[in-house]
Chain A
Amino acid sequence: MTGYTKDEALGRNCRFLQGSDTSEKAVAAMRNAVDSVNSVTVELRNYRKDGSQFWNRVSISPVTTEDGEVTHFAGFQQHITESKQAQLDLERTSRFLKETQEVADVGGWEVDLRSDSLRWTKEVYRIHGVDTDFEPTVEEAIDLYHPEDRATMQDAVEQATTEGEPYDEEVRIVRPDGEVRWTRARGEPRYEDGEIVGVRGTFQDITEQKTRESQLRESNERLEQFAYVASHDLQEPLRTISNYTEILAEDYAEDLDEEAQRFIDVVVTGSERMQSMINGLLDYSRVTTRGGEFEPVETEEVIADTVADLEIMLDEHDGTVETGDLPTVEADGNQLHQVFQNLVKNALEHSGEDPATIEIRGSEEPNQYRFEVEDDGPGIAESRQEKIFRIFKSGEQYQTQSQAKGLGLAICDNIVRRHGGEIWVESELDDGATFVFTISKDKEDAT
């Protein structure tokens, strides 16, 4: 056990096994017991000859004669390294767990169906704002939820205990002082021999996250409202500018010299460009302010409509659209149409002189639908791939006269995000581009 030979150990006080970090308290307790002729049991961290540590449980008892005279002490040492290590590990793990729970505002709880009891960790008490001597029953715990969320939790717990359905809900609780907190309650059934014997899970305070989310949503809504109002109200004065410029150009052409006429052309071009920007902004803000209902939409029909709408443009660019089997999705049909239309238009506009072949693919994945629009055009440099979806970029996009062209991809991005999805482009220069977007199946993700 100690690594010392019998000869090395014999006659030495067992103190020689102790190291600098052997508990002084334990050693003192031992010395104290000896001085006062008592029994003592301590756990000591000792060191072997080779320096490795081991844990000993040391019991010392006084040995007395029949008339009570102490003749000597008898000591037992028990090697307890493994059990001690396990205990330390457990302590470290629970301390770690406790600290992590505190940091993450997350607690744990457990319902034992056999004893019909509910156990909370400290953090659950803290989140609820109640003292740790409160021992709620399952019913009492459910009553701590916000009145509007109680039924949800009742159902969730019911489903978990009877059907074994795990749950994950975002619900409100009401603290004793009336403060409402948002929490995320997750539960998993626990089985023993194939039977549900309990439910356990985590309980997390997500109030701050919820607050931030709703602030972000509000600020986005305000921004979109602003974009709508601004672009809407900008139309009228802009119309005045272009109308009177037209009057000048048409009714006063004889009175104007060549330079003045050239200036008028500049004003006309400028106001046309501004008109297309305003229209683009309006379209962009209407994605959310004027969005339609989500309904089952047959993608194949949407693409057939898109191709029909773009017939002239497809002819001009010698373009063809190829599709395979496409899924039916839950979406705003008009907006899905807009996305495909913008992506196909975008591919045609960039195809240059060469004939353009555009391939549209769609597939169903566990949580979402995935669509790909692939072209054989010039491709997009990596440095620009993210930039093209932004609403305000450098001036280059507005140099084209095509109406609101520069905002087409930003509008796609806004629509896809409204459908709880993402859009991105995979491309290399001179090797075509594939625009990929997803649509979430979970309506909760959509707005």
Chain B
Amino acid sequence: MSNTAAENEEPVEILLAEDNPNDVEMTRRAFDKGKFVNHLHVVNNGIEAMEFLRQEGEYADKPRPDIILLDLEMPQKDGKEVLEDLEDDPELSPIPVIVLTSSEAERDIIESYRHNANAYMTKPVGYKDFQETVREVESFWFRVVKLPNEE
């Protein structure tokens, strides 16, 4: 049984894996202005992202996210490695992943999709562009697409 986020009317749990505080701030503000009630959880690298997803350590009581926004270039463990880990984990692989990055290299795009990324978006540059992008994410992923329900 699954419903769109909008039908559930529960807050959407979003995991943002992003090391750039500037991008974090703008993403947070853009989602705050959005139409959906949401909880934005932020981690700064791939290791923290996997800990969060596996609810390890300090993330033990964190919810399972409905969607992951993943930056490709991160220290310690980058986005590509996170994608590989997710692919190998049957528990986590159903969670939709949107790769958000400044890289427009075709190789990065193809590789991301090969590792089960659900969408690939070039990081917006300005604040207005961020809000635009976040609205698109909302209307497509929260309204249109049925997200898998937590069982």
Contact = CB atoms under 8 A, between A and B. Distances in A.
B10 interface: no
Interface in B105-151: 125-128
B8 interface: no
Interface stretch (A117-125, A240-248, A395-403, A427-435): A240-248
B22 A247 contact: no
A246 B127 contact: yes
A250 B22 contact: no
B62 interface: no
A250 B29 CA distance: 11
Given A239-B22, A240-B22, A247 B29 contact: yes
A246 B128 contact: yes
A139 interface: no
Nearest to A246: B127
B125 A239 contact: yes
B29 A251 contact: yes
B26 A247 contact: yes
B25 interface: yes
Nearest to B131: A250
A133 B136 CA distance: 87
Nearest to A242: B126
A251 B22 CA distance: 15
A247 B24 CA distance: 13
Of A240, A244, A246, A251, the most chain B CB neighbours within 10 A belong to A246
Nearest to A248: B127
Interface in A220-259: 239-240, 242-244, 246-247, 250-251
Nearest to B128: A246
Contacts of A239: 22, 125
Interface in B12-26: 22, 25-26
B19 to A, nearest CB: 12
A368 B143 CA distance: 62
Contacts of B25: 243-244, 247
Contacts of A247: 25-26, 29, 127
B125 A250 contact: no
Nearest to B124: A243
B81 to A, nearest CB: 23
B128 A243 contact: no
Of B25, B125, B126, B127, the most chain A CB neighbours within 10 A belong to B127
Nearest to A275: B125
A247 B29 CA distance: 9
Interface string A197-217: 000000000000000000000
Nearest to A251: B29
Contacts of B128: 246, 250
A250 B30 CA distance: 11
B135 to A, nearest CB: 14
Interface in B82-108: none
Contacts of B29: 247, 251
Nearest to A241: B22
Nearest to A249: B127
A250 B22 CA distance: 16
A240 B21 CA distance: 9
Contacts of A242: 126
Contacts of A240: 22
17 contacts: A239-B22, A239-B125, A242-B126, A243-B25, A243-B26, A243-B127, A244-B22, A244-B25, A246-B126, A246-B128, A247-B25, A247-B26, A247-B29, A247-B127, A250-B127, A250-B128, A251-B29
Question: What 10 A-B pairs are tightest by C-beta distance, nearest first?
Answer: A246-B127, A240-B22, A243-B127, A243-B22, A247-B127, A243-B26, A246-B126, A250-B127, A247-B29, A239-B125
Given A242-B126, A243-B25, A250-B128, 15 more contacts: A239-B125, A240-B22, A243-B26, A243-B127, A244-B22, A244-B25, A246-B126, A246-B127, A246-B128, A247-B25, A247-B26, A247-B29, A247-B127, A250-B127, A251-B29
